[in-house]
Amino acid sequence: MSIVKLNNRALKDATAVGTTTGLGNLIFISRSTASSSASLNITSGIDSTYKEYIFFFNNIHPQTDEKNFVFNLSVDGGSNYNVTKTTNFFRAQHLEGGNAEVFEKVTGDDLAQSTGDARISNLCGNDSDQCVSGYLHLFNPSNTTFAKHFISQVNSCFTNSEASVNLHMSGYGNTTSAVNAVTFKFDSGNIDSGTIDMYGVN
C-alpha cells in the first residue's frame, strides 16, 4: 500500500481500488463574500478550462428566518438565470434533543423541467449559530452536446426544530448551451454573511 498526496491530503491507495493518478487536483479560482447580499453571482471563470467545477459554501447565514438556499444557471453571462432544470431532493435530520430522526424524499422541493431556482437546502434558521455549509459540483458546463449535471450536499440548521439536517440535491440543466454563470441566494431576504469558494478540477 502506498501513500499518494492529493490536494494536500494523504490518500491511501490500495491496489483494490487501482491508481489515483487520474483523480485530479483542485485549482482555486475565486471567492465570493456575502455581506447583506441579495445574491452571490459568479459570472467569470466558468468556461472550458475545466470539465468540473466545485462551489464550497462556508457558513452561509440567512438574514431572514426559515428560508431556502437556492441556485440557478445562466447561458448568457448572468443576464438571465433561467435554465430549465429537473432535480431530486432528499434529507436526513436529527433534533438536538435526540428525537425525531428522519430520512425522507422531499418531493415538494423537486423541480420538473422548471426554469425556477433549485433548492440546495430548506428552512435554514437565522439564529446567530445557524447557517448552511457544504458544496455543489457542476459537471462540464461548457459542453455543447450534453445536459449539465450537478450534485450538492450540505448541512443546515432548521429554525424552530433546532435540528441538524443533511440535505442532498442532484439534477441537470436541460440545455446544450454552455453554462457560464451561476447565482446563489436565499429565496427571500439577503445572505447576511458567508463565502463561496469556486474551484476547477483538472
pLDDT > 70? residue 22: no
pLDDT in tens, 50-105: 999 999 999 999 999 999 999 999 999 999 999 999 999 999 999 888 887 889 99
Q: Whole-angstrom distance between the N-terminal and C-terminal Cα of the chain?
A: 25
Q: What is the pTM of this model?
A: 0.88
The Cα–Cα gap between 103 and 31 comes to: 33
Q: Residue 61 has what pLDDT?
A: 97
41 to 7, 74, 96: CA distances (angstroms): 26, 10, 34
Domains of the chain and any CATH numbers? 24-201 (2.60.120)
